[in-house]
Structure 1
Amino acid sequence: MNYKKFAEDIVTLVGGENNITSLTHCATRLRFNLKDNNKANTEEIKKRKGVMGVAAKGGQYQVIIGSDVANVYKEIMAITNLEDSSKSNEKDDRKPLAKVIDTVSGIFTPILPAITAAGMLKAVLSVLIAFNLITKESQTYQVINFMADAAFYFLPILLASSAAKKFKTNQYMAMMLGGILLHPSFVSMVDAAKEAGTSLKVFGLPISLASYSSSVLPIILIVWFMSYIEPIADKISPKAIKFFSKPLITALITGIIGLVVIGPIGYLISDKVGSAIKALEAVAGWLVPTLVGALTPLLVATGTHYGLVPIGINNRMTLGYDTIIYPGMLASNVAQGGAALAVALKSKKTEIKQLASSAGITAVCGITEPALYGINIRFRKPLYSAIIGGAVGGLFLGIFGVRNYTGGSPGLLTLPSYIGGNSMSDFIYAIIGATISIVVSFVACLVLYKDEEEAVEENLNSQEKTIKSVNMTTIKAPLTGAAVSLKNVNDPVFSDEIMGKGIAIIPTEGKVFSPINGTVEKIYDTKHAIALKDDNGLEMMIHIGLDTVKLEGKHFNVHVNKGDKVTVGKLLVDFDVKKIKEEGYDTITPIVITNSREFSEILAIDDKTVKYGEDIIKIIK
């Protein structure tokens, strides 16, 4: 792949650099914050080779790339000036929930490699200990152990850095605040005060005797507070000494308030969350892992799964282990891999088999986006299978209270992160739970999945054979061309089925014939669209091209009038395909059932070339 050219195309298609307020990336996707999502050409982005999908959710515009995402991100940063554009003061009109999700995602996404590395190092140590290759007393163990502990112990500093970028405040001042919480002198003072039963004070204000190593929430709240103090310090500082006074005021006020008020509040909230989860574990420990196992694919699709990551980290920091988030995600991730591998086995299409096999392997290892967007969501039945497998596996892991001790990207490669405690039972149950998830989703997908053309044909045939007592209407193709799904229409009114369900045809001939026996209900003055109604009450619209209303009837000839009775095959409109294209308009023609809600099933055959008069839609009352 030519990463530079690809990066240039993506920037252009999201509306240009001026439309980007910030950009981050995770393991598989570019995460844009755009000033106006409507300026992004989503359909064109999806068509680009190398793009697995697009998700505009959680306040972010996400372009799913796969394992090449870091290379694409690097090229985008090289050809743009997004360090400056990320500081834009554009008004944010997003809903509060979208802002929260975007903030959590933006803070945790950059530090995930460090957390993953630390978790994997811990997992390696667990394996070495389990096979008696080293002992806990050996220097090798001690060195690798403190290397792994570094990311967890200094987590407040890592979070301070990413939070500062998200809250648009000074990154290094934020890291200093993280350092304050972890400074050896502060830690020693807290330990001494606890031992002596005394207290700590600054200017007479009491400092909570809390430990902030490995904590999550306190530093995020402190940096958020700093983002308000820093502009005030800038405003009140005299120009001549601003270089000195601004950081002094910011550090002094934020540091003291952080130690006295904000840090303890964050610590208390984290502790209460941990206690609540422990209480939930005692009452219904199986429930949350089951839900996480089932729903994680939907959370990943919307980008909201990052809201669960801090909970899992907080559990390990406060309780020493996590029994709900990472076990549930383990079941979900490997289940998605199992479903994709079933598609690889069952599909008769070489391209699908190759994509499904590679995506399936990646998913069982812990990275699910290629399987989720490339296979599971695309064909739906694998997604349903993954949800079933994830729920069953999550239920098993929840029932046995399986504990995750070190984190990492949930998958087969991080199974050693379940080694801990006084026995190997968590590790063994984690293997069993992962196996259950894979097997259940694999078998379910083998039963449910069929290649698209085969599935549609079977569905139509079965409907025709079994529903004889139901009134069925057949819609003929009104013109010749390539029949495609409405999702391929670059207009949300049609692609989101706002007007109704149906199909679209990319015409190769400029003649529209009546697809039904009925009446001409309306002919638009600009001749680009016609509404029909059949004798059984079915209402439909044929809309020739997109934005062709602007042609004001040019290149169109209408052969019927409003109120005319028409039969199948009657010429309604002819138009000049070539000239309309030369004018710069898309000639794709949606055929929409405008009263779709009155029917139980509307089944369309798309992704094939059709001639006018062929059956393309079956409608069941």
Structure 2
Amino acid sequence: MGYKELGQEILDNVGGKENVKSLVHCATRLRFNLKEDSQANVDALKNLSGVAGVVNQGGQFQVIVGGDVKFVFNEIEKMLGSQSFKEERTEDDKKGIISKVLDTIASIFVPIIPALTGAGMLRAFLALFTMLGWLSTDSQTYQFLSLIGDAAFYFLPLLLASSAAKKFGCNQYIAITLGAVMLHPTFVAMVANAKETGDSLSLFGLPVTIANYGSSVIPIILAVWFLSYVEPLVDKFMPSAIRIFMSPLFTLLIVAPITLILIGPLGTILGNGLGSIVEFINSYANWLVPLLVGTFTPLLVMTGMHYGLIPIGINMLATSGFDTVAGPGMMVSNIAQGGAALAVAFKTKNSSIKQLAFSSGISAVAGITEPALYGINLKYKKPLISAMIGGGAAGLFIGIMNVGRYAQVAPGIFALPSFFGEKGMSNFIYAVISCLIAFVVGFIVSLILGIDEEKESPLSESQVAETDLLLNKIGGIIASPIAGEVINLENVADEVFSSGAVGKGVAILPSDGKVYSPIDGKISATFESNHAIGLQSDSEMEILIHVGIDTVTLNGNGFTSHVSDGQKVSKGDLLLEADLEVIKNNRLEDTTIVVVTNSGDFSKIEPTDKKSVNVGEALINVTADN
């Protein structure tokens, strides 16, 4: 499936473009802000080839795509076109205040992170090259590179104005103009002159606080938020004949002065106050914040709460040029996750787990943790605990040694150059030691704890051998995952399945609630309600096992899953258990559907002609296209 097709499927299954308030993406995930989360078809999304999972947390509906997320995002953005993403301020918005704040922070900061990361890495390497004597600070080359590296940070209010305007649903270019007012050379010169002479500044007779807004964070966000209320109010009262030029005029005349007189100074006070709080904590317990960040970053990432750390780190860089909160703790946490995942690669005997653990572990060390977090560490629990121990140990060390970074970069091993700065080599050396602590502790603890790979199987050795022979010979036999009476798919009381829309297959009236793997392959999709499961065979068959009709409404009651997304399985492994009595007591049918969701890839899909089957017996014969 191409990027365009995948993007269209994802957009359709989140409720269509009409249900999308805003969309951003990070390294691996599409982050939707939906009008109604209930309109999203989570089951269908998880079954899409190219989608690794779905998470609805932190005020965002997140679709995990992986490394190709940027290309899928670009296609969806084209489909959304120029539609407004203005937030609807409705009283029935059920999101809590924490979710709203996190959603706002993520929506504003995620789009600008690539610019800050690129510029931050350039600044970090410049510091390294000058320290090593490879580049003179007097050279024009250094001056130009320094200019390029500083631009994104000095003009940060412009970047934030653009993304904040999209989030708050106001005119993007008026918002950028507000940022430009705060950074205009004339205003900067007026502030510098007032500081030198001791004179005051005033606008309309009202005092203007003498403040510099270069690299600032909070003032412009508050200004654009205020703009989002003023702009529609001006539009409402402005006659339509002159609205096109008079509305922007009055909007600027209202918002810009209030920004300079009130909002900007307020934002400066809040930013400085935030820095003072962090400085106070560091003065009395400098080990505390890095310890907490290093330990709990994986949990923050899972909930989206790590985006609350980003503005704190950026604000510290803007006010003091030294971040001891977000960057160092998140860096050692990511490296500890990589160490824990790589230990799994050394420990496991399962080739599929070994391959995933190795590749995702390397990715985590480089700063991209989602593959390791969701594919290995969270799935097997013990590696996650190991990563948190490693991150906490390294976080404690960097806190005690007061290690910080001098630039905003992606938190991974390649962030180390950002630790060069005014403290010289000592800060860098301590950062390197902290990375070693994180990796070694995470690796060793994970190696000791290991992972649980044992699975229950109801098949005898002869049954397994018989099915193996059949599969190896034909390459397309799906064994029965459950015992019971076989019925035609057309007779199922669910039009989605009976019509063949999901795929061709068969249904079973189960005599037992245990569901076993019908193939050798991997788990391609699991569901929060545990009522269904998706598999992909080694011969590329994509299979959906759906227990019961409308059992998703039970919200997991009566269902127990024994597997996770991406897990390697063998024929006869226990996948899930369903309490058939719970299903019947809720007046639902327990009919279990087995369908090949990529039926179009095969020439024939022939269900068994048996009236009843036992677990492990041949159920569906799938013949590949010639």
Matching of residues 440-479 of structure 1 within 5 Å:
440-453=441-454, 479=512
Matching of residues 405-444 of structure 1 within 5 Å:
405-444=406-445
Distance 1:86 1:611, change over 3 A: same
Distance 1:381 1:44, change over 3 A: farther
Distance 1:111 1:530, change over 3 A: closer
For residues 71-93 of structure 1, what are the alpha-carbon distances to aligned partners after superposition, in whole Å with 9 as ceiling and x for unaligned? 11112223x22531523647333
2:87 aligned with 1:65, yes or no? no
Cα distance in 2 for partners of 1:493, 1:87 equals 32
Normalising by structure 1, we get a TM-score of 0.77
Matching of residues 392-403 of structure 1 within 5 Å:
392-403=393-404
Q: Offset at 1:369? A: 1.3
Cα distance in 2 for partners of 1:160, 1:360 equals 36
Match of 2:126 in 1: 125
Distance 1:451 1:46, change over 3 A: farther
Match of 1:38, as an amino acid? S
2:65 aligned with 1:23, yes or no? no
Cα distance in 2 for partners of 1:386, 1:481 equals 34
The question of whether the paired residues in 1 share the 8 Å contact of 2:531 and 2:559 is answered with no
Q: Secondary structure in 1 aligned to 2:111?
A: coil
Matching of residues 71-90 of structure 1 within 5 Å:
71-78=71-78, 80-81=79-80, 83-84=82-83, 86-87=85-86, 89=88
For residues 145-203 of structure 1, what are the alpha-carbon distances to aligned partners after superposition, in whole Å with 9 as ceiling and x for unaligned? 11010000000000000000000000000000000110110011001011111100011
Match of 1:371 in 2: 372
The question of whether the paired residues in 2 share the 8 Å contact of 1:4 and 1:72 is answered with yes
Match of 2:54 in 1: 54
Segment of structure 1 superposing worse, 312-321 or 255-264: 312-321
Cα distance in 2 for partners of 1:394, 1:529 equals 45
The question of whether the paired residues in 2 share the 8 Å contact of 1:28 and 1:369 is answered with yes
Match of 2:175 in 1: 174
Matching of residues 213-252 of structure 1 within 5 Å:
213-252=214-253
The question of whether the paired residues in 2 share the 8 Å contact of 1:486 and 1:494 is answered with no
Cα distance in 2 for partners of 1:300, 1:577 equals 36
The runs of 5 or more residues in structure 1 that have no matched partner are 458-476, 505-514, 516-527, 532-540, 552-574, 582-608, 613-621
Match of 1:140 in 2: 141
Matching of residues 286-305 of structure 1 within 5 Å:
286-305=287-306
Q: Offset at 1:366? A: 1.1
The question of whether the paired residues in 1 share the 8 Å contact of 2:156 and 2:217 is answered with yes
The question of whether the paired residues in 2 share the 8 Å contact of 1:222 and 1:254 is answered with yes
Cα distance in 2 for partners of 1:28, 1:40 equals 19
Cα distance in 2 for partners of 1:478, 1:429 equals 62
Matching of residues 189-228 of structure 1 within 5 Å:
189-228=190-229
Instruction: Select the residue among 531, 538, 560 that pairs with 1:489.
Output: 531
For residues 488-528 of structure 1, what are the alpha-carbon distances to aligned partners after superposition, in whole Å with 9 as ceiling and x for unaligned? 315566554x5686779xxxxxxxxxx9xxxxxxxxxxxx9
Cα distance in 2 for partners of 1:108, 1:13 equals 26
Cα distance in 1 for partners of 2:87, 2:318 equals 35
Cα distance in 2 for partners of 1:432, 1:318 equals 27
Match of 1:265 in 2: 266
Match of 2:257, as an amino acid? I
Q: Offset at 1:22? A: 2.0
The question of whether the paired residues in 1 share the 8 Å contact of 2:336 and 2:443 is answered with yes
Aligned residues: 506
The CA RMSD over aligned residues, in Å, is 2.8
Match of 2:603 in 1: none
Q: Offset at 1:380? A: 1.4
For residues 298-345 of structure 1, what are the alpha-carbon distances to aligned partners after superposition, in whole Å with 9 as ceiling and x for unaligned? 111111111110000111111120112211111111111111111122
Match of 2:503 in 1: none
Match of 1:176, as an amino acid? T
For residues 45-67 of structure 1, what are the alpha-carbon distances to aligned partners after superposition, in whole Å with 9 as ceiling and x for unaligned? 22333323221011110011121
For residues 267-324 of structure 1, what are the alpha-carbon distances to aligned partners after superposition, in whole Å with 9 as ceiling and x for unaligned? 0110111112111111000000000011111111111111110000111111120112
The question of whether the paired residues in 2 share the 8 Å contact of 1:22 and 1:82 is answered with no
The question of whether the paired residues in 2 share the 8 Å contact of 1:382 and 1:449 is answered with yes
Distance 1:480 1:493, change over 3 A: closer
Normalising by structure 2, we get a TM-score of 0.76
The question of whether the paired residues in 2 share the 8 Å contact of 1:479 and 1:611 is answered with no
Distance 1:226 1:129, change over 3 A: same
The question of whether the paired residues in 2 share the 8 Å contact of 1:58 and 1:304 is answered with yes
For residues 421-458 of structure 1, what are the alpha-carbon distances to aligned partners after superposition, in whole Å with 9 as ceiling and x for unaligned? 1421111000000110011111111111225226x89x
Distance 1:106 1:577, change over 3 A: closer
Q: Offset at 1:257? A: 0.3
The question of whether the paired residues in 2 share the 8 Å contact of 1:480 and 1:610 is answered with no
The question of whether the paired residues in 1 share the 8 Å contact of 2:347 and 2:447 is answered with yes
Cα distance in 1 for partners of 2:591, 2:151 equals 69
Match of 1:593 in 2: none
